């Protein structure tokens, strides 16, 4: 049979891109290729690009050029560029990057099989509307195998003025609940205990289906899959929330009361300019309603600063809102003008230095809020998903409690006992930093009895990390 052919993958961008890369990994596995970590050892190199904002596009192009050096060295026989950047700029990339052998778009993962079989077609970028992921698509999980992202829909129907995604990802295409349950069952059988649901507009899930289905129905169905312990929903649009959806968040024991809702701003004028479909008053009402209805809710959100026309008064309104809301997790992004968007055609641009200063100021405002909210957990017991040996010290384990999503929030450092990655264990929180917690196991032979509310008098064994 000879030696297996080798392939190397580079995945850039968001978690949705990561799922697409995992599908291409499944395709390459079915095609008999062996994945190698060193691109210098690969016969085929595949780069799944991001084309969302300027810095991501620059990173994608730089990565292509870097991987192209292996073509020059003669070790790489095929260089494949896939994803959003090639979907968005196919002709430009084909003209400027002669070293690339094949271009696939944002929904062309399955076409990689044709490339690996020897197809000579260079341009394979198709219509994104022609593809929606299915449970029986091949997929190889990357990273921690006890958690997985589940892409519940493709595309987006919103018309936010700053966002170009609908132009190259297409309109929203939801997957039926039955198909998503089948995928969850397969993931659970492979050892996955945590599902993180992703799409561009998760709260609009199911509205485009012929037989309309709702996010509330989907969350309940996935939470009922045997073996799944945690279900977390990401990217909820701040619109009218149904009682059924709030009930699922507040009452289903597997659906985490973790709200990830990108609000983007709080000023009326900015929300109008961003075409978000509502004003700042709606933001206050949404947060108030969720906090009243969902006990012990954890709230993550993101904001954009430096959008064209943002005045100092607009930014002060945003500051006031952040101070009032006391979010658990906040991300702040500097506005990036994108080709083909309404925002890019607006006048009154904001200087980059001003926008960056506003981002830094907002994050400085949020840091003590995050710390104070975590300090409320000290002396209480939490369930923690163990992820393995800590990156701070090999004497510690590291995990996340349900209020921390993977890769975007902080961690829990576990100072005593032993556990396997993928276990969900009971811990006593002993200290807190800006974004991280320190805890001890209390549910095993290496744990210790401690009443709820008791403080651990022992000194910390590690200095907790403070993220920038």
Query: What's the CATH code of the domain at 381?
Result: 2.40.50.140
CATH number at residue 36: 3.40.50.12160
User: Do 162 and 37 lie in a common domain?
Assistant: no
In a domain, 133, yes or no: no
Domain boundary among 341, 374, 407: 374
Q: Residue range 90-111: average pLDDT?
A: 91
Rounded to an integer, what distance in angstroms lies between the CA atom of residue 184 and that of residue 179? Answer: 9
Rounded to an integer, what distance in angstroms lies between the CA atom of residue 338 and that of residue 325? Answer: 30
Q: Please determine, for residue 450, whether its predicted confidence score (pLDDT) is greater than 80.
A: no
Q: Residue range 82-100: average pLDDT?
A: 90
Rounded to an integer, what distance in angstroms lies between the CA atom of residue 386 and that of residue 418? Answer: 10
User: Do 178 and 273 lie in a common domain?
Assistant: yes
Q: Residue range 70-76: average pLDDT?
A: 84
Q: What is the pLDDT of residue 181?
A: 97
Render pLDDT for 311-323 as a digit per residue (tens, 0 to 9): 999 999 999 999 9
Question: Strand 397-401 vs strand 412-414: parallel, antiparallel, or unpaired?
Answer: antiparallel
Percent of the chain with pLDDT over 70: 94
H/E run at residue 386 = strand 381-389
The parent domain of residue 417 ranges over 377-468
Render pLDDT for 141-200 as a digit per residue (tens, 0 to 9): 988 889 999 999 999 888 889 888 888 888 999 999 999 999 999 999 999 999 999 999
User: Do 74 and 185 lie in a common domain?
Assistant: no
280-293 vs 312-325: helix axis angle to the nearest 10? 10
Q: Residue range 283-287: average pLDDT?
A: 91
Q: Please determine, for residue 273, whether its predicted confidence score (pLDDT) is greater than 70.
A: yes
Q: What is the pLDDT of residue 457?
A: 32
C-alpha closest to that of 454 among 445, 444, 442 = 442
User: Do 156 and 280 lie in a common domain?
Assistant: yes
Tally the C-alpha atoms within 13 A of residue 315's C-alpha that lie toward its C-beta. 23
Higher pLDDT, 421 or 391: 421
User: Do 293 and 433 lie in a common domain?
Assistant: no
Question: Strand 412-414 vs strand 437-441: parallel, antiparallel, or unpaired?
Answer: parallel
First to last CA, the chain: 51
User: Do 98 and 151 lie in a common domain?
Assistant: no
Q: What is the pLDDT of residue 363?
A: 95
Rounded to an integer, what distance in angstroms lies between the CA atom of residue 331 and that of residue 305? Answer: 11
Render pLDDT for 360-392 as a digit per residue (tens, 0 to 9): 999 999 999 999 999 999 999 999 999 888 877
Residue 225 makes CB contacts below 8 A (sequence gap 6+) with 181, 184, 185, 188
Q: Is the pTM of this model over 0.95?
A: no
In a domain, 260, yes or no: yes
Tally the C-alpha atoms within 13 A of residue 9's C-alpha that lie toward its C-beta. 26
How many domains, in total, are found in the chain?
3
Q: Residue range 218-234: average pLDDT?
A: 95
Q: What is the pLDDT of residue 101?
A: 92
């Amino acid at each position: 049979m000879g030696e297996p052919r080798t392939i190397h993958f580079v995945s850039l961008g968001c978690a949705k891109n990561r799922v697409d890369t995992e599908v291409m990994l499944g395709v390459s596995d079915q095609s008999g290729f062996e994945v190698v970590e060193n691109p210098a050892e690969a016969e085929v190199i595949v780069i799944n690009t991001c084309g969302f904002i300027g810095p991501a596009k620059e990173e994608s192009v730089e990565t292509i050029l870097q991987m192209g050096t292996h073509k020059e060295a003669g070790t790489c026989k095929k260089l494949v560029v896939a994803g959003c950047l090639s979907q968005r700029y196919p002709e430009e990339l084909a003209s400027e990057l002669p070293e690339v052998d094949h271009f696939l778009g944002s929904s062309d993962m399955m076409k990689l099989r044709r490339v690996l079989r020897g197809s000579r077609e260079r341009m394979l970028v198709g219509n994104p509307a022609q593809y929606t992921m299915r449970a029986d698509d091949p997929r190889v999980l990357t990273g921690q195998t006890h958690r997985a992202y589940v892409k519940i829909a493709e595309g987006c129907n919103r018309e936010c003025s700053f966002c170009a995604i609908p132009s190259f990802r297409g309109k929203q295409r939801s997957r039926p609940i039955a198909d998503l349950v089948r995928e969850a069952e397969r993931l659970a059988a492979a050892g996955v205990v945590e599902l993180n649901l992703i799409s561009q507009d998760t709260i609009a899930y199911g509205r485009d289906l012929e037989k309309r289905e709702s996010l509330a129905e989907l969350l309940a169905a996935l939470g009922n899959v045997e073996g799944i312990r945690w279900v977390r929903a990401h990217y909820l649009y701040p619109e009218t929330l149904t009682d059924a959806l709030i009930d699922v968040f507040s009452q289903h024991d597997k659906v985490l009361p973790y709200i990830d809702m990108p609000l983007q701003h709080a000023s009326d004028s900015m929300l109008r300019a961003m075409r978000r479909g509502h004003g700042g008053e709606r933001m206050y009402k949404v947060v108030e309603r969720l906090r009243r209805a969902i006990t012990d809710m954890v709230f993550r959100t993101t904001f954009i600063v430096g959008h064209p026309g943002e005045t100092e008064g607009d930014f002060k309104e945003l500051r006031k809102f952040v101070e009032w809301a006391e979010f658990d997790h906040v991300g702040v992004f500097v506005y990036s003008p994108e080709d083909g968007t309404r925002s890019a055609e607006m006048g009154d641009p904001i200087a980059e230095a001003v926008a960056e200063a506003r981002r830094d100021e907002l994050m400085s405002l949020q840091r003590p809020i995050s710390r104070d909210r975590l300090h409320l957990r000290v002396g209480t017991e939490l369930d923690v998903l163990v992820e393995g040996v800590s990156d701070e010290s090999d004497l510690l384990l590291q995990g996340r409690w349900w209020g921390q999503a993977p890769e975007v929030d902080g961690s829990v450092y576990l100072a005593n006992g032993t556990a396997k990655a993928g276990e969900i264990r009971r811990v006593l929180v002993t200290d807190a930093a800006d974004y991280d917690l320190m805890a001890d196991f209390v549910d095993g032979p290496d744990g210790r009895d401690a009443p709820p509310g008791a403080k651990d008098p022992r000194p910390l064994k590690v200095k907790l990390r403070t993220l920038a």
